[in-house]
Every structure is written in C-alpha cells, then in structure tokens.
Structure 1
Amino acid sequence: MRSWIAACTPSFSRPAPACSPRSPPPSTAPAPRSAPSPPTCPPPRSPPCWTPSPRTPSRPPAGRRAPRRDGRARRRRHRRPHRHLRLHRAPKFTELPAAALRASAAATLARIGAAPGDRWLCCLPTSHIAGIQVLVRSLVAGTEPVIMPKPDAADLAAAAPPGAHVALVPTLLRRLVDAGTDLSKLGAIVLGGAAAPPALLAGARDRGARVFTTYGMSETCGGCVYDGVPLDGVRASLAADGRIRIAGPSLFTGYRLRPDLTATARDGEWFVTGDLGAFEDDGRLRVRGRVDDVINTGGEKVVAGEIAAALARHPKVRDVVVVGRPDPEWGERVTAVVVPSGGAAGTAGAPALAELRAFVRETMPAHAAPRELELVERIPLLPSGKPDRVRLRGPGGHGR
C-alpha cells in the first residue's frame, strides 16, 4: 500500500530524469553568471525517450516513446471524444458511517435468525450496497465470506457451505429454480434489488428456500424492510405525497460534497425516498413503485410497478417490466415488456395483448391496461441486477 501511495503521490524530492542520449554531456566548468548554461535535460513531466540498441527490443517498452527521426520531441495527441459517446449525470456518492453499516448488519442477522459462526456467500458485486453488506455481515458474525465474482447456478450450489446465507437478486434466484437446485441446503436467501414475481417466490419455496424479500437502498445501508416489516430500530412512514420515509440508525449521513441534494432527501431524522408506498391492513409496507416511473397516459397517472405486479400474476408471464414510451396521442403509452413462461412469441404459450389488457382491467382502471406488448427472451439488467428502464423506455429498447 505504501509503495502504491508513493507511486501515485507527486514527490518534489525525486531526482531529475536522465539526459537524452542525443544531448551533449553537461560541462563541469562553472558557467559565468551573466550567461547561464541552458538546461540539457527534458522537462520533468516528459518521459525519457527510448533509443533502440542491439540489447533492446525492436519496440519501445511500456511508458516510453520512440524518438523522431529528426531528433525533435514528439507532440502529445489529445483524443477527441467519440461522436456517439453518451454523457451521463454525475453519480451521487452516498456517505455511510461504519456505525450505520454495523447496525444494519446486526439487525439483519437477528431478523433471519442467523447463528454465531454462520457464513455468507457473496455473489453480488461489492461495488453495490448489497455486496458490501454481505461482507459487513460476515465481519459482524466473525466469519469469512465465500466470494463468487461470476455466479452460476451450478457453481453457486456447489460453492455454498451447508447452511450458508446468501443475498440474491430475482434473476439469480430464477436461475437456481430453473436449474432444479435444492435450496433447502442454504440458510436464508435475502432477496432484493427488484420486485420478485409471486410465481418465482412460490417456486423457490417449493424447493426448500427460506426467502426474505427486502426493500432498501444505498441510503439505508441496503435492505431495511424485510417482508414488509422494518428491521429492529427502523421506522417507516408515508409522506403527504405517498413517498416512503425511513428513519433509524442505518441511515446515511449525506451525499458527498452535495449539501443541496442532502437537504432535499432529508427531513429531520427522516430520509424521504423516491418510492411510493402503502400500508396493508396488517401494517406491512407495500412498495407501489418509483415516483419517476409514474406514467402519464391520456391525462391519467398510473404507477408502472403496480401494473407490473398485476401482470406478474398472469400464468403466461414469467417476468415483466412496465414502462411508459412516448406516444403522439396519449403522451405516454403503457408498454409491457414480458418474458413468456410457456413459449416464444407467436406460440400458444405466449400471451396476447388483448389477453393481458383484460387481465389488468379485472383489478385496475382501464387506462392502466397496457397498450403495447413486447415479448423478449430476457429483461435487460443493470450491473446491480435491476431492470435497465432507460433502455426499455427508448425506441427499440427491447430485451435480449
């Protein structure tokens, strides 16, 4: 670590680079004060040139530049950005104190009934909060996690120690179910990242899985609501506009160098999320969907997550994401991107648009019924395991 820091930190006590082979040797006689001798070494920032010799390869080594034939220094060329380069907004850096991470990990271990010494299987990227929390839970439990950078259904089942707990996204759980994996050998399956279809949860539990559906985000140190019930010490409420609010010891302290965003997201002790929610009759929290996923179609507003939840109960729907696509007549048209459960498009096992519209109208208003149906083999996902809604909203943004 020290050598890496020294290599990345500029040092003003380093000796100047060696003179170029083409430069004359410096004179040892003192130069007169009135006419100081010009420097013969290249500037400190310019890397020394490379000169081929019988003992050196025909190509310059990494970090060196071959000299020009006329002896002049080469000019650095600045690459222009590609004309098709997509510019994204700068990410928000969430500041999570160690105490918040520990509080979330301890509450999770207590909720799932983890015993001392239980191990965790880490198959989610540790660049996201779900993977980070697997490491923190292992530290709190005093165990070493089993790391799987590229999880596969067969490899995951073989690598998991008996009774090990694991955090998954619905896509990974689907692969385990399709592979016929005996999920009773695992401990608890902490499922998050996206809403799980009821058929997937039923299939996993039929194979012996003990699944906990979670709700949370980076600002809450990951999942803070398990099966609709907040973790110990966590409180959930609804704002006047229906947004979910979270309070408790596992909250972030703010967005790094963005006090404006922090002030918008915090309301005293409460963190105001970007999700809409509702409380069921038994007091459990139900997530309706994202605020920015609300579709305005023909002057009526519908929540895409609620439509997707309704379609997920159809027997011919294996997976579904609902988005709003631009429409010249309706402003936005409700589009259902569906992975059929019984076959490809055009077969008897694939649902038809009229069939899905009638199914949605049984429990929701008519304007919530999808006006467009796209059948795909897979839903495009982000590295975090969530659906790539930006791609699905665009024209031709279908799955693979």
Structure 2
Amino acid sequence: MRPLHLDGSPAALDALKGALADALGGGPAVLPFTDPALRDAMTPGDPAEPDTAVVIATSGSTGAPKGVLLSARALTASAEATHRRLGGPGHWLLATPAHYIGGLQVLIRSLLAGTEPVYLTGDGFRPDAFAAAAAALKGGPRYTALVPTQLVRLLEDGGAGLAAAMTFDGIVLGAAATSAALRERAAEAGVAIVPAYGMSETASGCVYDGFPLDGVRVDVAGDRIRIAGDVLAHGYRSRPDLTAESFDGGWFTTSDRGVRHADGRIEVLGRADDMINTGGVKVSANAIERCLTAQPGVRDACVVGLPDPEWGEAVVALVVPAGEPRAAAELRAAVRAELGAASTPKRLEYAAELPLRGPGKIDRAAVRVRLLAGFGG
C-alpha cells in the first residue's frame, strides 16, 4: 500500500493524481492522508486487501478509525455515472480536501475525462480564492464539488465568488444535507447545484437530487437505507467483523434513515442515532433542524439530546443566525407549530458557526460538549 501525505500543496495533489492513475491501472493501492494517526491506524506497511485501489481512512461518526476499501471498478463506476448524470465528462475544480472521497473523486473524474483539474489550495475557503481558481478552469462543461457551508459562504459574499459559482454547469453538493432554504437561495442566485447523498462506502455520492445514479440500487428496509451496485466498497481495512456487519449479499446497510417515495425518489431523514427520547417520546433531531433552518433569519442549526432528570433527554439547539438573531421564543414556537411540543427545544443558543469535522459535517460531539457546559446552570 502506498501512503501519500497531502500537505495542501499542488505538488502533493499532482502526486496523488499520478498515484491514482497507477492504482486504477492495477498498481499499488493508495492511502491518502493528512493525519498521521489515521495513517498509522491503517497499518500501511501491510499488503492491501485484494482488489483494493484506494483506502479512505476516516474516523467515522463514532471517532473509531476505519479504512474503507475501494476497488478501481467502484471508483470508475461512480465517476462515469456522475458524468452521465451531469451531462458528460468535463473540467473539474477541486475545492474540497482530496483525502476525503468527495475530493478524491474529483481527481478520478478528471483522469477518466482526460482533463486537467484546477486546485483550490490554501487555508480555509475564501470566495475570492474560489473565483480565482474558477477563472483558471478552461473548457467545458465546468463542474465542481462543494459542501453546503462553502456554498453558503459564496451566496453570502455575493461578489466574485458567487459570480464564479454561476459559471458552473453543475456543482455537486455533498457531505452534509442540503436544506430546502439553501436550495431556494441557490436557485434564486442562478447557481446550478446537484445535492448528492453518499459516503466513502459508495465511492462518493450515489443518489443525486433524490434519484440513484445509473447502476445504483437503493432500498429502504424498515426505515434504514441500503445501497447496492458497482459503486460499493468491498469492506473495511483489517476489520472483517465490521465488514460482515455492514456488507451482506451485495448490499451495504447505512446508518441513515430514509423513505422511498412512489416516484422512486429517496428522502434521507437523518441518522438512525439522531433520535432523541424525551419524556418517553422519540423525536428526530434532523426534523427539528430542518424546521429551524427553514425559518427566516436562520442559517444553520444543530439539535442534540442532553441528559435531563425530568425528561430523560432534553432537546437543545445551537443555531447560527443569518443577520440579526430571531428571538428564541419565536423559533421554539415555529418548531412547536410544525412538529409538536415534544420536539420543541427546551433551550436554544446561538453561535457564529457550527463546529465541523471532516468535509463539512457538523461535529455533533463538539456541539454537545458546548451545550452541556451551560446546561442546567
């Protein structure tokens, strides 16, 4: 296995692109990383499992390190299905970290399209830097992949970054849920987004705007989303036990709840572990978050359950306002009207930003620690 340290430089990304080309052709498996601890957890000195082209090292939602094993077939199937859905092979701007599957797939898609990607490098995400990178992207169609937080910054900037976003034929939006309010803002601004659902185990997004990509099958067993198709990983690095739990008979069982509508559209309802048992009633943190972010004056929200002697768990929300914060009482009343008393946050606090982990995912553990610090005081 070939570990590659990504230090944020164009040279490191070029090296990764070359290593990926070799791996797709049957060369050594690639382990891209930024965190040496995650690299070491993947025992890079040991041979990679058979048929492995890439190992995506991730801490996962629980913080337990695991390595997702992806074959050349899975990576290629995902990239080709993405191009078919978007309108054909094109020119890609890499704007997310390449050690995560969303960024790595930008390089895979560029390799298969025979085009040179443009890299957005540097600390943090700045609309002006995005605009400069987009200007360097020659030819079309023009594509990029972003996380919702990045799109929000472009929309709020309203300057060169937003103007650059409007030039893309498709912006794949993944890693976190795209709220209805964000969809509306993007449409009003003339930004062509394609909300995607997927994960490392599906070689990146495999459901675009609610509908599975070609060759992908999605089933909802009970309320749990299951996925099958050539895009699937074939297990976890050195974890046959974990592989057996999640992969069975060609299907991968996710940790997400969902529903399949009559027209075939898949709606993701949130993680199976986002349910809060408050006063004996189970409520969905995801549903409360969607209600809050649909309110005027709310940019983002995270809802968690905190220990409470009376309710067992109390529903508590951390809200990022858009402009002047709305009164907490108004937001709580909006949740009560839509979802009922049990879902209404017992407490609501404000923050300038939500803590994030990975490629734009909310760090719920950090939110919980922050809210616990002031809970019951």
TM-score (norm 1): 0.73
Matches within 5 A, 1:122-271: 122-150=94-122, 151-160=125-134, 161=137, 163=140, 164-180=142-158, 181-182=162-163, 183-240=165-222, 242-271=223-252
Aligned counterpart, 1:277: 258
Q: Distance in 2 between matches of 1:397 and 1:357?
A: 19
Separation in 2, partners of 1:303, 1:216: 20
Task: Return closer, same or farther for 1:363/1:281 CA change in 2, 3 Å cut-off.
Answer: farther
Map of 2:93 onto structure 1? 121
**How far is the alpha carbon of 1:372 from its aligned partner?**
1.1
Equivalent of residue 68 in structure 2, options 85, 94, 97: 94
Please name the residue that 1:289 is paired with: 270
TM-aligned CA deviation for residue 89 of structure 1: 5.0
Task: Using the TM superposition, name which of 125-134 and 273-282 deviates more.
Answer: 273-282
Letter in 2 for 1:156: F
CA distance in 1 between partners of 2:329 and 2:129 (Å)? 41
The answer to which structure has the higher strand fraction is 2
Q: Could you tell me how far apart the structure 2 residues matched to 1:397 and 1:124 are?
A: 31
Give the C-alpha shift of residue 198 in structure 1. Answer: 2.1
The separation in 1 between residues aligned to 2:143 and 2:316, in whole angstroms, is 37
Q: Give 1:281 deviation, angstroms.
A: 4.3
Aligned pairs for 1:50-89 (under 5 A) are none
Aligned partner of residue 225 in structure 2, secondary structure: strand
The answer to whether the aligner puts 1:385 opposite 2:366 as a matched pair is no
Q: 8 Å contact 2:306–2:372 — kept in the other structure?
A: no
Partners of 2:318 and 2:182 in 1: CA distance: 17
Residues 336-356 of structure 1 deviation map (CA, whole Å, 9 limit, x = unaligned): 11111231xxxxxx2233222
Percent same amino acid among aligned pairs?
A: 51
Residues of 2 paired with 1:144 and 1:249: CA distance? 26
Asked if 1:373 is matched to 2:348, the reply is yes
Q: Which moved more, 1:248-257 or 1:325-334?
A: 325-334
Query: 1:125·1:149 contact (CA, 8 Å) conserved in 2?
Result: no
Cα distance in structure 1, aligned partners of 2:337 and 2:217: 34
Task: Show the counterpart of 1:32.
Answer: none
**Does residue 95 of structure 2 align to residue 112 of structure 1?**
no
Contact 1:311 1:360 in 2 (8 A): yes
Give 2:184's aligned amino acid: A
Paired with 1:272 and 1:285, the residues of 2 have a C-alpha distance of: 15
Distance 1:158 1:89 in 2: 35
Q: Distance in 2 between matches of 1:217 and 1:149?
A: 23
1:39 matched to which residue of 2? none
Structure with greater proportional helix content: 2
Residues in 2 aligned to 1:316 and 1:283: alpha-carbon distance in whole angstroms: 33
Q: What per-residue deviation string (whole Å, max 9, x for no partner) do you get for residues 6-57 of structure 1?
A: xxxxxxxxxxxxxxxxxxxxxxxxxxxxxxxxxxxxxxxxxxxxxxxxxxxx
Q: How far apart are the structure 1 equivalents of 2:193 and 2:354? A: 22
**CA-to-partner distance for each residue in 1:133-174, whole Å, 9 max, x for gaps?**
111011111111111123421111121126521100011101
- In the alignment, the residues of structure 1 paired with residue 271 and residue 63 of structure 2 have an alpha-carbon distance, to the nearest angstrom, of 19
Q: Which residue of 2 aligns with 1:57?
A: none
Q: CA RMSD in A?
A: 1.9
Change (3 A) 1:342 1:90: closer
2-structure distance, mates of 1:177, 1:157: 13
* Deviating more after overlay: 289-298 vs 192-201: 192-201
Report Cα offsets for 1:170-202 as digits up to 9, x if no partner: 111011111111232122100011112222222
Aligned residues: 304
Q: Tell me which residue corresponds to 1:361.
A: 336
3-state SS of paired residue (2:338):
coil
